[in-house]
Amino acid sequence: MIRLTQAPFDPGQALGEFCRDRQETGAIASFTGLARAEQGRTDILELEAYPGFTEREIGRHEADAVARFSLQDVLIIHRTGPIPPGEAIVFVATAAPHRRAALEACDFLMDYLKSRAPFWKKETGPDGARWIEPTDRDRDDLARWETT
């Protein structure tokens, strides 16, 4: 499931709810990404999505992850709009019978979200605003999954 939200969310609460009422899940992995202050260079991060398109594109990769790692369940929460440092931007949780699949699927989904998911990210600080685009590192991270 994918949830885009303009409002702050509590990743601990999201994880708690995701863990509830499971009889056959042996492993849940989660990742929480927070907005960084970059030593005072960033006052606010702004994330733009393309409503409808963004959810559908992420949904295709969620389905990929479910098939590839035989997941039982996935939850992705992604903030949009202005986000101050310290608040959660993204939360991914994966449920599987065993830990390896859950951990790898979480890593796989984050690599996709960082470099391919339809979001546009702008950092504003004392020196003005700049758009953040995927780094070579993000692309290398994603490429790991193309050979295995």
Partner 1 sequence: MARVLLFGRLADVAGWREREIPARSLADLRGRIAAEDPALFEALQAPAVRTAVDQELVSLDVALAPDSEVAFLPPMSGG
| Positions in the binding site for partner 1 (CB under 8 A) | 33, 47-48, 50, 52-53, 56, 78, 89-90, 110, 113-122, 131-134, 138
Q: What is the distance between the alpha carbons of residues 94 and 122, in angstroms, rounded to a whole number?
A: 28
- Give CA–CA dist 76/74, Å, rounded: 7
| Residue 132 Cβ vs partner 1, minimum distance, rounded to whole Å | 6
The Cα 29–Cα 133 span in angstroms is 27
Measured from the CB atom, the residue of 65 and 72 that comes closer to partner 1 is 65
Task: Look at residues 74, 53, 49, 77 and name the one whose alpha carbon lies nearest to residue 63.
Answer: 74
Q: Could you tell me the smallest distance in angstroms from the CB atom of residue 117 to partner 1?
A: 4
Least distance CB 145 / partner 1 (angstroms): 15
Of the pair 103, 110, the CB lying nearest partner 1 is at 110
Q: State how far the Cα of 111 lies from the Cα of 113, in Å rounded to an integer.
A: 6
Quick one: 69 or 119, whose CB is closer to partner 1? 119
The SS3 call for residue 90 is strand
| Comparison of 71 and 90: residue with beta carbon closer to partner 1 | 90
Q: How far is the CB of 36 from partner 1 (least distance, A)?
A: 12
